Amino acid sequence: MDLIEKMFNLTKELENSEEFKTYSWLTEHIPALRILSKNYELLDAHLLSYSNLKINEAFISFNVIHRVEQINYLEELSRLFYNYVASTQTLVDNQRKQYQKLFPDRKRFPEYQTRIDNDFKTNGLACFIKDLRNYFLHVKILPIEPVKKFDGITGDLTIGLFLKQKDLRLYKDWKSKTKEFINSHEKDIDFDITITSYHKLVIEFQQWYQDKTCAIFKKEIDYVSRIKRERSQAGLKFYFDKIRSLEMNDLESFESSAIRFLELDETRTFMNFKLVQQRQEYLLSRIQRIIDIPEEVLERINNFYPN
């Protein structure tokens, strides 16, 4: 059996297996998780750009131009917040559907629903964040005002962003758990701390869920990993032969062929490198995790790259 035929047969075996079907279900939520992470990065960066500013005219004066700048900032903050919370809800919904596929009888993973209830359905913080998104949709931009804060470590005066209690209490459609959360704060609510705490809650749930499902379906994951590794090894051996015979003799052909055997996250990392040397070191290290590169092949690969 030649290497191309071996790759074809392994792909066919993999795609026809029940293990691969389960594995596909296990990874369905990953795009939603990536979107959530990106939306949080954007929201966090926007918050940081504000909280790191010293007290200055742009945020404390009554100048009309400065006031417009502040409104623009808060409107953008509201938009980023809305996108972030929407992506958390999408992820939770995706995982609920995933859970129903993986555990139709609910018996292998009964603690899932308990954790969902505790972390999201009855958790005051989670309910507040979800309802705050509805407030933004139906009432106005987030009821935030900048407040001077003194940093006891650096001695700097900075701006803090707080949700105003007097505006929050005017809204009548808060759920009961949200009302409890609001009432638990005697003063205005620090928006940055609230978002950070909520994101920590979401990520800790994600890690717990992933650890549990990976443990339950370890056999299926190991099977898929083994077949994919064998297929990658056959594919790389095929290209090693092409390098030996000089059919493949340039950098672009090598890299475009080799990255086919990387995982998606690895490919993203590789594509983000700007320096050729970084790409070289990263790609070769990933290939060597799959298969040993023969010395003569490695020498020719290194010659593809400029000194």
pLDDT attached to residue 173: 86
Residues 279/271, Cβ–Cβ less than 8 Å: no
Where does the pLDDT of residue 134 fall: very low under 50, low under 70, confident under 90, or very high at 90 and above?
A: confident
Mean pLDDT, the chain, integer? 88
Q: Please, is 76 exposed, middle or buried when counting C-beta atoms within 10 Å of its C-beta (0-12, 13-18, 19+)?
A: middle
Claim to verify: residue 194 and residue 78 sit in the same structural domain: yes
pLDDT attached to residue 52: 52
What distance in Å separates the CA atoms of residue 256 and residue 115, rounded to the nearest whole number?
44
Tens digit of pLDDT for each residue in 218-236? 999 999 999 999 999 999 9
Claim to verify: residue 240 and residue 212 sit in the same structural domain: no
**Is residue 2 one of the residues assigned to a domain?**
no
pLDDT attached to residue 56: 45
Claim to verify: residue 102 and residue 143 sit in the same structural domain: yes
Total domains in the fold of the chain: 2
- Domain end, chosen from 148, 183, 216, is at 216
28-32, 83-87, 146-150, 189-193 — which is least confidently predicted? 146-150
Reported in sequence order, the residue ranges of the chain that DSSP labels E, i.e. its strands, are 144-150, 157-163, 189-190
**Is residue 15 one of the residues assigned to a domain?**
no
**Is residue 11 one of the residues assigned to a domain?**
no
Claim to verify: residue 204 and residue 83 sit in the same structural domain: yes
pLDDT attached to residue 169: 85
Claim to verify: residue 195 and residue 238 sit in the same structural domain: no
Claim to verify: residue 204 and residue 254 sit in the same structural domain: no
Residues 54/259, Cβ–Cβ less than 8 Å: no
**Is residue 14 one of the residues assigned to a domain?**
no
Structure tokens belonging to residue 158: 């900075």
Where does the pLDDT of residue 164 fall: very low under 50, low under 70, confident under 90, or very high at 90 and above?
A: confident
Claim to verify: residue 192 and residue 250 sit in the same structural domain: no
Average pLDDT over residues 37-44: 95
Backbone angles phi, psi at 182, to 5 degrees: -65, -45
Instruction: Judge whether residue 57 has pLDDT over 90.
Output: no
**Is residue 168 one of the residues assigned to a domain?**
yes
- Domain end, chosen from 195, 216, 237, is at 216
Residues 230/238, Cβ–Cβ less than 8 Å: no
pLDDT attached to residue 217: 96
Claim to verify: residue 175 and residue 52 sit in the same structural domain: yes
Where does the pLDDT of residue 106 fall: very low under 50, low under 70, confident under 90, or very high at 90 and above?
A: confident
Where does the pLDDT of residue 51 fall: very low under 50, low under 70, confident under 90, or very high at 90 and above?
A: low
**Is residue 13 one of the residues assigned to a domain?**
no
Claim to verify: residue 227 and residue 198 sit in the same structural domain: no
Average pLDDT over residues 246-267: 92
How far, CA to CA in Å, does 92 sit from each of 127, 135, 188, 200, 220?
Answer: 14, 20, 29, 15, 23
Where does the pLDDT of residue 144 fall: very low under 50, low under 70, confident under 90, or very high at 90 and above?
A: confident
**Is residue 196 one of the residues assigned to a domain?**
yes
82-91, 133-142, 149-158 — which is least confidently predicted? 149-158
- Domain end, chosen from 193, 216, 239, is at 216
Average pLDDT over residues 251-261: 93
Claim to verify: residue 120 and residue 239 sit in the same structural domain: no
Claim to verify: residue 163 and residue 114 sit in the same structural domain: yes
Claim to verify: residue 271 and residue 234 sit in the same structural domain: yes
**Is residue 95 one of the residues assigned to a domain?**
yes
Average pLDDT over residues 153-167: 76
Average pLDDT over residues 245-265: 92
Rg (CA), the chain: 26
Structure tokens belonging to residue 173: 């459609």
pLDDT attached to residue 138: 76
pLDDT attached to residue 150: 64
Domain that holds residue 143: 21-216
Average pLDDT over residues 72-78: 84
Average pLDDT over residues 206-211: 94
pLDDT attached to residue 67: 66
